[in-house]
Structure 1
Amino acid sequence: MLIPGYPVLGICGAIAAVVGIGLRGTLAQVDLVEEEFRLVRSRDELQGLVFVDSLTGLANRRALDERLLREWHRPGQQEPIALLMIDVDQFKEFNDRYGHLAGDECLRSLATALLGHGLRAGDFIARFGGEEFAVVAPGTRLPAALALADELRRQVEALAMPHPQGKLGVVTISIGVAAAHATSESGPLDLLNAADRALYRAKQSGRNRVASQDDALANTVRIDGSRYLG
């Protein structure tokens, strides 16, 4: 309508209208992209929480199972996979003496100590459940895994958290260690059972100890239904 009488003003108005429509469309598109980004981030955060132990902040049992399975079937895996099963000695007595809130704080302190000492970049630590933790150490032979386990044991002992019913008057841990080459004839469950059996031996031997597979079975694993003592 303006173009016949005021051509310059009319053309400028038309250009402004086109620019405005385009700008509005662009802003709407930006809003859609930002919303999609927020949804993806929220989904990723929720998926991440599925694999995190809410008490300690470590990976949980589900994450451990998936990591073990992934390491077992990793292409070109040549070195053995080591697994450390860690249990807090006489933790029930600790809870009975100090209460469950103190027990939770004890587990958080242990998680920090275990995570911060001795582990390499490729090692993976998780809360297995209750007062149990586990460490997956890919590419680690049994002697090196035993050395790592004893380092973790000594670090926890050095925390000197009081435990009157404990063997040394402080909180201690026992660790069972197993290592195996991934084969088609066995699986992660075999390694888990071997480490669990070694933990049972550490408990039976007096606690605050590291134990491994039987020397005769140092390079193999087997299924064993035994459970450790508390």
Structure 2
Amino acid sequence: MEPLSPTGYASGDPIDLATAEERLALPEGIDSDLVEQIDQDGLPLRQWPAAVAELYHATVTSRLYQEGHFLFLLGLLTCLATIVVDVLINPAMVPEGVALRVLAVAPLTLLGLMAGTRGWTNLLAFCVGASPIAFIAVVVHLAVHLPPDLSPRYINATILIVGLANVMLPYSLRGLIIFDLSALVVAMLMLVLGGVDFATQHLDTIALFTLVAGATIPVASQFESLRQSNFLLTLRAQCAGRELLEANAALHTLSETDPLTGISNRRSFERQFETDIVAPGFNGRIDDRIALMMIDLDHFKSFNDAHGHQAGDSCLKLVAKALVDIFDEAGGVVARYGGEEFVAALRVRDSKEIVAVAEDVRRSIATVLTPVSESDRSLITASIGVGVAPASAMLPREELIEMADAALYSGKDAGRNRVEVVEAEPAFGRGG
């Protein structure tokens, strides 16, 4: 986890608001159970797991960027608005009051706004706290030059400033304590510069200043605790949402995957056929040909009986892998249709390419299992029926399956371990 700056924000390379938002993305290792456990145990921030604590500091930084502009503009307008008080109490002090306000507060405001734009987090955090402290210095300095009966009005205003700042500034608890101590030191320094007697006369104000700062710290601490609880609740909801999406994705994958071979099932094939074959986008041409293959393992029941179901399952897995390799390279799709039957489809330019792929499939399946004897006969072979139609014909998938089935059984009748093709001419197409 990154070290914290004195204001409580993560130090390191400058970031912009977009980067801060990106850091709010949930990292790995954070789940709803972990977040709920943190909340139930009431763990303080320092005992949170590193990943959760770092994410919280990122949200605090994001809040700083979100509220920085508002706080700077509000502070500057408030500072300038108090010129009216100068006019009412001592008009002769107005020029000096205006100059001090502009010279002390305006540069910090502009610097803070620039830091927010450039993504300088530490400088932005410094300016957010330095601006009200500069205003306190101006107020006490003006009080030094007022008559004794009027100066307490100005000095007491510093108490209001520090009280409001403790509630509004987007600092951590440690950052607020540093802010209060800095404001107190600056106020006392300005009183001493007005003379020891003047400072002595306002020791009660300093005591009240300290009391208000100390009394508002617990309020700020409670706000910080509420922010942390709200963060945990929000994070838990985000984790639950992510887990729900992952569960839905896993369920969708399971619903479209054959559990034995791990390749697509019939349902997935139907979707892929429409999206990847029938409607291939800019890669397809109107004169393409669409081929659908029914691939059936020959005498698989006998193989299963002779070698056992485990051997049969292994055989199906090996065949599935071989088919995926071939059709991935050919730009087609393949799925387990059921039992020992597979279905595949691809879109090509001519029928010769289709036959070449089908023959490649047949030969590949014949070499999946090595014979255990010196015989050249393969342990497993396949009969392949292919239905082919022009893409312009827009034949339904069901009709292509019927054509491929007819070709498959024709191949079975002709002796198995062969490829048979049934091709529809453009004149037979429904949309051609």
Could you state the TM-score of these two structures normalised by the residue count of structure 2? 0.46
1:163–1:169 contact (8 Å) kept in structure 2: no
Of 272, 296, 306, the residue aligned with 1:97 is: 306
Counterpart Cα distance in 2 of 1:108 and 1:43: 26
Aligned twin of 1:227: none
Of 43, 46, 60, the residue aligned with 2:248 is: 43
Does residue 72 of structure 1 match 2:281? no
Counting strand residues as a fraction of each chain, which structure ranks higher?
A: 1
Q: Which amino acid aligns with 2:224?
A: V
Structure 1, 109-118 or 148-157: larger mean CA deviation: 109-118
Aligned twin of 1:177: 386
Structure 1, 67-76 or 56-65: larger mean CA deviation: 67-76
Aligned twin of 2:59: none
Q: Which amino acid aligns with 1:152?
A: V
Counterpart Cα distance in 1 of 2:262 and 2:311: 17
Q: How does 1:177-216 map to 2 (within 5 A)?
A: 177-182=386-391, 186-213=395-422
2:289–2:390 contact (8 Å) kept in structure 1: yes
2:241 partner SS: helix
2:256 partner SS: coil
Counterpart Cα distance in 2 of 1:8 and 1:121: 74
Distance 1:67 1:151, change over 3 A: same
* Gap regions ≥5 residues in structure 1: 223-230
1:125–1:136 contact (8 Å) kept in structure 2: yes
Distance 1:177 1:44, change over 3 A: same
Q: CA deviation at 1:118?
A: 5.3
Q: CA deviation at 1:74?
A: 6.2
Counterpart Cα distance in 1 of 2:336 and 2:367: 21
1:206 partner SS: coil
2:371–2:377 contact (8 Å) kept in structure 1: no
Higher RCO, Cα 8 Å, sep 6+: 1
- Post-superposition CA distance 1:169-203 (Å, at most 9, x none): 42111111222134577311111111111111221
1:83–1:135 contact (8 Å) kept in structure 2: yes
Aligned twin of 1:154: 363
1:53 partner SS: coil
1:155 partner SS: helix
Counting helix residues as a fraction of each chain, which structure ranks higher?
A: 2
2:258 partner SS: coil
Aligned twin of 1:84: 293
Give % identity.
30
Q: CA deviation at 1:113?
A: 1.6
Could you state the TM-score of these two structures normalised by the residue count of structure 1? 0.82
2:387–2:407 contact (8 Å) kept in structure 1: yes
Distance 1:17 1:67, change over 3 A: same
1:180 partner SS: strand
Aligned length: 217
Does residue 23 of structure 1 match 2:189? no
1:89–1:171 contact (8 Å) kept in structure 2: yes
Distance 1:184 1:206, change over 3 A: closer
2:319 partner SS: helix
Distance 1:190 1:197, change over 3 A: same
